[in-house]
Amino acid sequence: MESIKVSLSQDQMPQKWYNIQADLKTPLDPPLHPGTGQPLTPPDLTPIFPMALIEQEVSQERYIAIPDEVLQVYAQWRPTPLMRARRLEQALGTPAKIYFKNESVSPAGSHKPNTAVPQAFYNMKSGIKRIATETGAGQWGSAMSLATNYFGLRCSVYMVRVSYDQKPYRKSMINTWGAEIFASPSQQTNAGRAALAADPNSPGSLGLAISEAVEDAATHADTNYALGSVLNHVCLHQTIIGEEAIKQMQIAGDKPDVVIGCIGGGSNFAGIAFPFLREKINGLDLRVLAVEPASCPSVTKGVFAYDFGDTAHLAPIIKMHTLGHTFMPPGIHAGGLRYHGMAPLVSRVAADGLIEAVAVHQLDCFAAGLLFARTEGIIPAPESTHAIQAAVAEALKAKEEGKERVILFNLSGHGHFDMSAYDAYLAGQLTNYDYPQAMVDQALAQLPQIGLASSRM
Ligand SMILES: *Cc1c(COP(=O)(O)O)cnc(C)c1O
């Protein structure tokens, strides 16, 4: 038999997360208080985050030890396999070798439990009893509902109304793991009640659901808030993906020429890419490619500037690639990856020229996703099809050039709860959508005026 899988044993699991802040050429700009515009201090954050996570957010240590209790839970599904996509290679007729890291094997079906588990752990350690969080498409809400079980916490999820109605099985999953779920806007919070008073049929938005979860956490002493992407500590926790992949590529006897991940808020990309970027900073020759949807092109069309993290201006102002916090993602787009901003760490490495970014169209992504499902068997999450599309494009370029190139991408999750998006694709109901530059410019006029220079990439 030909070898197509590299598995690590439980005791080969990396015991440290990698903090790329230690190796940045340009340090991150400080997050600012949404009310005062002054740099945030830890006391601004303690009402909603435990101190251990606040410390990780600003840490300059290169490595942070993963607590034993977290490693023990990771072992329920980690290390995840590194797969060689031989059948996909054959279908493409490419001389390139395509590897993928399979994060779809977690109980929630994506990479998100990699951070949900430590976040639940540190909250439990600090005496917190309940987590309040938001979810858009449902993946983060599922991951947090799963993770809180391992540490005896309760969990309340505010799910954007339109997704709550469209994806009933996400709610079933969240309830099965014992969490409570509210369609947002809800009657639970002032933010929700105000939105319902203004429009009883409000479809909700991610920005509003964040406002509800933050308000819930800030007004209950035993409750904290948790975010599933964007923040530095989330990117940190995800680096277990890349640390495992480095070991596995060595065992496979190959060195990637290009490492690829899709970007929504940036966390799964950070997870696979940052450990490889450490090697690149230390002289290894490789390309690192972030793939975003053409309908929500924060890195390729946005500006690198200070912006609000949410619509209600409750979340910190952060320096990131942004389309403006008033950005409205087009409803015709089937996948996730719809946040207006990008993780400050991913934005920084893009601005420093360490990574490349491309925007791709959803019809090409679904076509690549279908090819992947029909060759490798796994039905990818619509988000993950962006990474697959870019990997396929790289493999076809290698074929054209007659080069044996080594491609590695992150399969961030499976699409078992996104079958309606596949139905829409197969029925020919999806179209491509380029977010117009005029709308970008309009939204950018709404950026906070804090007198700090912003620069177009
Ligand atoms: C949430 C999610 C993403 C996008 O979030 P990132 O923080 O950019 O990783 C991508 N893929 C899957 C499967 C997800 O659940």
pLDDT in tens, 393-410: 999 999 999 999 999 999
Tokens of 112: 């998100």
Backbone Cα Rg of the chain: 21
- Please state the atom number of ligand 1 nearest to the C-alpha of residue 143: 15
378 lines ligand 1 (CB under 6 A): no
pLDDT band at 331 (very low <50, low <70, confident <90, very high): low
Report pLDDT for 455: 39
Angle of helix 240-252 versus helix 267-281 axis, rounded to 10: 60
By mean pLDDT, which of 11-15, 295-299, 331-335 is the weakest?
331-335
Give the rounded percent of residues in the chain with a pLDDT score beyond 70. Answer: 96
Taking the CA of residue 271 as reference, the ligand 1 atom at the shortest distance is 9
pLDDT digits (tens, 9 = 90+) for 179-207: 999 999 999 999 999 999 999 999 888 88
> pLDDT over 90 for what percent of the chain?
84
Q: 265 CB less than 6 Å from ligand 1? A: yes
Query: At the topology level of CATH, where does 79-109+234-444 sit?
Result: Rossmann fold (3.40.50)
Closest CA to 132 of 284, 277, 314: 314
Q: Whose alpha carbon is nearest atom 4 of ligand 1?
A: 264
| Ligand 1 close to Cβ of residue 106 (< 6 A) | no
Is 286 within 8 Å of 256 (Cβ atoms)? yes
CB count within 10 Å of CB 319 equals 21
Which ligand 1 atom is the nearest neighbour of the CA of 268?
A: 9
pLDDT, tens digit (0-9, with 9 covering 90-100), for 2-51: 999 999 999 999 999 999 999 999 999 999 998 999 999 989 999 999 99
CA distance 168 to 138: 10
Q: Give the Å distance between the CA of 263 and the centre of ligand 1.
A: 7
Is residue 229 in contact with ligand 1, taking CB distance under 6 Å?
Answer: yes
Report the separation in Å between the CA atom of 413 and the middle of ligand 1, taken as the mean of its atom positions: 8
What is the rounded (10 degree) CA torsion for 76, 78, 84, 86?
10
Calculate how far, in angstroms, residue 152's C-alpha sits from the geometric centre of ligand 1.
Answer: 26
What pLDDT does residue 225 have? 97
- Residue in 383, 416, 417 to alter for ligand 1 test, most ligand atoms within 8 A of Cβ: 383
* Beta-ladder partners of 251: none
Nearest to 369 by CA among 408, 453, 426, 434: 426
- Please state, as a whole number, how many other Cβ atoms lie within 10 Å of the Cβ of residue 253: 8
Q: Which atom of ligand 1 is nearest to the CA of 264?
A: 8
Q: Confirm or reject: Cβ of 112 under 6 Å from ligand 1.
A: yes
Query: Which residue lies with its CA nearest to atom 9 of ligand 1?
Result: 268
Q: Which atom in ligand 1 lies closest to the alpha carbon of residue 384?
A: 11
Rounded-to-integer distance, Cα 119 and Cα 227, Å: 9
Ligand 1 centroid from CA 337, angstroms:
7
- pLDDT digit string (tens) for 246-255? 999 999 999 9
236: its two tokens: 């940190």
In the chain, where are the structural domains located? 79-109+234-444
Residue 199 Cα to ligand 1 midpoint, Å, equals: 30
Pairing of strands 303-308, 317-322: antiparallel
Closest-CA residue to 229 (of 360, 397, 330, 114): 114
